[in-house]
Amino acid sequence: MMLSVSTSRPVISKSIQTSFPSPGLSSLMAPRIHANGFTMPRRIRTQGTFMASDPTVISAEELASRLAQGEDLLVVQVTSRQVYDAAHIEGSHCVEPAELVSGTPPATGRLPDAERLAGLAGRLGLGADRQVVTLDDEGGGWAGRLAWTLDVLGKRDWIYLDGGLHAWHQSGLPLVSGPPPASDPARDVSITVDHSPIAEAEDILERLDDPDLTVWDCRSWEEYTGQRVAAARAGHIPGAVHLDWLELMQRDRGLRLIDDVAGLLERRGIGPQQDVIAHCQTHHRSGLAYMVARLLGFPRIRAYHGSWAEWGNRPDTPVET
């Protein structure tokens, strides 16, 4: 990997759940970035009209062009600080995954409290005047978790960098190393938590027999069928539809989203006409599921932030294998 500040090759972390592609193309094969224009980010919605607050997905080349023109985008990389220090887009900010979760067992992936959310918003300088670009190094799980958090904070016009660091590097675009850029002191901000993107266990328990509700389980098949145990009880929520998050990404194309993601969801029985609640083990992998549904324009998509770490450890929740 060619870095602007070093000839060494930084290490990009690999998720324990994902086998990643080999390092990307040489910088000699970098695409030409035109300074006088850019292609609008694609919106992979299937129905309805677009509003200014709609999220979008953008390619590495499109993002590079917009940054080169000086557009004031807040680029946020959701990785460990170690990964960020080794390789990041120049000028981007780092949010560590632990900042997005409560960390309280057994359901460690639940939303942090309002004080921590306000602290994160203040540190990043979130405001109505700047769009946030979210990315990670694993194909969209943590980037999607940030997107969901932004929705909870009412910041719904985020942009997803398709494929994240891997796609950026594969496109021959430069990554730099070192600490985050100096920033203004954290601001005291007042936040309002929008609960509409959040699902609780009771929201599912009350509607287990409701045909208008689709529970999307994006864990592995082994977890879904109970072969892999990660809680007091193993298996899945009765009636849940299984679609592994890994099926949404192209591991031979820099972890970009698959071309016909809408068709894949439709074939699995996940559509915009229903209430959809996505979950995994800790609402990490389901960050990608939630984000994809938002990009497709699903009007009633939520994420169960307690996920299986909560459901599988409660004594009163039904389980199928």
pLDDT in tens, 87-125: 999 999 999 999 999 999 999 999 999 999 999 999 999
Q: 251, exposed or middle or buried, with CB in 10 Å at 0-12, 13-18, 19+? A: middle
Give the pLDDT confidence score for residue 124 in this predicted structure.
93
The verdict on 162 and 206 lying in the same domain is no
| 222 and 98 within one domain | no
Do 142 and 261 lie in one domain? The reply is: no
Final residue of a structural domain among 120, 151, 170: 170
**pTM given for the model:** 0.85
Residues 104 and 214 in one domain: no
Which letter does DSSP use for residue 241 in this model? E
> Do 159 and 203 belong to one domain?
no
Residue 12, pLDDT score: 32
**Does any domain span residue 98?**
yes
What does each C-alpha distance from 290 to 31, 72, 103, 216, 223 come to in angstroms? 31, 26, 20, 9, 19
Among the options 89, 152, 248, 280, which is catalytic?
280
Asked whether residue 26 is domain-assigned, the answer is no
Same domain, 133 and 225: no
Lowest pLDDT segment from 3-7, 112-116, 196-200, 273-277: 3-7
Same domain, 164 and 219: no
> Does 227 reside within a domain?
yes
- Range with lowest mean pLDDT among 49-53, 248-252, 268-272: 49-53
Residue 227's domain is classified under what CATH number? 3.40.250.10
Task: Name beta bridge partners: 135.
Answer: 77
Whether 145 and 211 share a structural domain: no
* Phi, psi dihedrals of residue 239, rounded to the nearest 5°: 85, -5
Q: For residue 29, what is the DSSP state? A: G
In a domain, 22, yes or no: no
Task: Name which of 18-32, 98-112, 299-313 the model is least confident about.
Answer: 18-32
Lowest mean pLDDT among 61-65, 85-89, 180-184: 180-184
Q: Is 6 within a domain?
A: no
Report the number of distinct structural domains present in the chain.
2
Tally of CA atoms within 13 A in the half-sphere of 60 that contains its CB: 25
- Which one-letter DSSP state was computed for residue 257? E
Does residue 206 sit in the same domain as residue 164?
A: no
Q: Which of 170, 188, 207 is the last residue of a domain?
A: 170
CB 134 within 8 A of CB 126: no
305 and 209 in a common domain: yes
Residue 109 lies in a domain: yes
Give the tokens for residue 61.
Answer: 């080349």
Instruction: Work out the percent of the chain whose per-residue pLDDT is above 70.
Output: 83
Residue 70's pLDDT band (boundaries 50, 70, 90)?
very high
Q: Among this protein's residues, is 280 annotated catalytic? A: yes
Q: Does residue 16 belong to any structural domain of this protein?
A: no
Q: Note whether residue 269 is domain-resident.
A: yes
Tokens of 99: 């900042």
Q: Which of 44-48, 60-64, 111-115 has the lowest mean pLDDT?
A: 44-48
Answer yes or no: do 160 and 52 share one domain: yes
Residue 270 and residue 157 in one domain: no
Q: What is the largest CA-CA distance in the chain?
A: 60
Question: Is pLDDT at 199 greater than 80 in this prediction?
Answer: yes
217-236 b/e (C-beta count within 10 Å ≥ 16 → b): bbbbeebbeeeeebbebbbb
Q: What residues make up the domain containing 166?
A: 38-170
pLDDT for residue 49:
39
Pairwise CA distance, residues 161 & 158, whole Å: 10
Distance, CA of 78 to CA of 96 (rounded, Å): 6
147/176 Cα distance (integer angstroms): 24
**What is the average pLDDT across 65-84?**
98
**Pairing mode, strands 256-257 and 249-250:** antiparallel
Point out the domain boundary residue: 170, 186, 216: 170
What is the per-residue pLDDT for 277?
Answer: 99
Summarize the confidence of residues 145-171 as an average pLDDT: 98
